[in-house]
Amino acid sequence: MSLLEVKNVESGYGKTSVLYNINIKVEEGEMVALVGPNGAGKTTLLRTISGVLNVKRGQVVFQGKQLEDLKPNEIVQMGIGYVPQDNNVFPNLTVMENLEMGAYLLSEYEFKEKLEDVFGRLPILKERKKQKAATLSGGERQMLAIASSLLLTPKLLMVDEPCGGLAPQIAEGVCEKIMEIHKTGTAVLWVAERDIEMVLGLASRSYMMESGQITFQGTGEELLSNKKFQDLILGK
């Protein structure tokens, strides 16, 4: 049984479908890459898995349990963390207040315990804990968003273009933190539009989306050598 299975899913916004017959899976502790041109439906897929969007047809199964009728907070409780590309922190709250919001399901004791673990992984946040999120750099905001998800110890962490808009050196730091999290045994579903070749080099499984459909699946190496992918995404 896979950790996550998306089976023949159709989803979208209101009456408009964006995803059609989507089938993907993520195994325990696996790194999976999801790539495709802008507008392909990558973000829509993550929103559907996390319960932000409703499943119109098909199934989303996590650890053998169907998620289609669950609310986003219930899906988080089951062990799926989701870091959106934009608007992923509360800018007018401090770093600590953001983390407290992310830990709303934890007891005070559990929060203190998890907080020490998060600060150990992302020490810059401990230094910035009294600062408002709006004053953080782009990379620090991304790390705060990731930290908020880690507080609930997800079995699967979904990140949507976590390095978008960041300076190369800052983006490299964010990517390194995600890789460190993966090495601890957390499965990662990584939507990549930047640093694609690096992400595919790490992924044991990869999917390419076009126009709301999966058009390729295989290893990262197989996708990198795929002519259509090279033309469409890398522009080679």
Please provide the average confidence, as pLDDT, over all residues in the chain.
Answer: 92
Instruction: Name the one residue in this structure whose structure tokens are 């730091």.
Output: 173
DSSP 3-state assignment of 4? strand
> In which band, very low, low, confident or very high, does the pLDDT at 170 lie, cut at 50, 70 and 90?
confident
**In the predicted structure, residue 165 carries a pLDDT above the cut 90:** no
Rounded distance between C-alpha atoms, residue 190 and residue 89, angstroms: 19
Rounded distance between C-alpha atoms, residue 102 and residue 27, angstroms: 25
DSSP 3-state assignment of 90? coil
The pTM of this model reads 0.92
pLDDT of residue 121: 87
pLDDT of residue 236: 56
Q: For residue range 77-132, what is the model confidence (pLDDT) as tens digits?
A: 999 999 998 889 999 999 999 999 988 888 888 999 999 999 998 999 999 999 99
| CATH superfamily assigned to domain 4-86+157-234 | P-loop containing nucleotide triphosphate hydrolases (3.40.50.300)
User: Residue 152 to residues 65, 111, 204: CA-CA distances in angstroms?
Assistant: 19, 9, 25
Instruction: Name the one residue in this structure whose structure tokens are 């993550």.
Output: 46
pLDDT of residue 171: 83
Listed by start position, the domains of the chain span 4-86+157-234
Residue 95: Cβ-neighbour burial (10 angstroms; 0-12, 13-18, 19+) = buried
Rounded distance between C-alpha atoms, residue 210 and residue 213, angstroms: 5
**In the predicted structure, residue 235 carries a pLDDT above the cut 80:** no
Rounded distance between C-alpha atoms, residue 197 and residue 127, angstroms: 33
User: Residue 185 to residues 29, 30, 165, 201: CA-CA distances in angstroms?
Assistant: 5, 8, 28, 18
Lowest mean pLDDT among 142-146, 159-163, 172-176: 172-176
Rounded distance between C-alpha atoms, residue 31 and residue 199, angstroms: 9
Beta-sheet pairing, 55-62 with 65-66: antiparallel
Q: For residue range 4-26, what is the model confidence (pLDDT) as tens digits?
A: 999 999 999 999 999 999 999 99
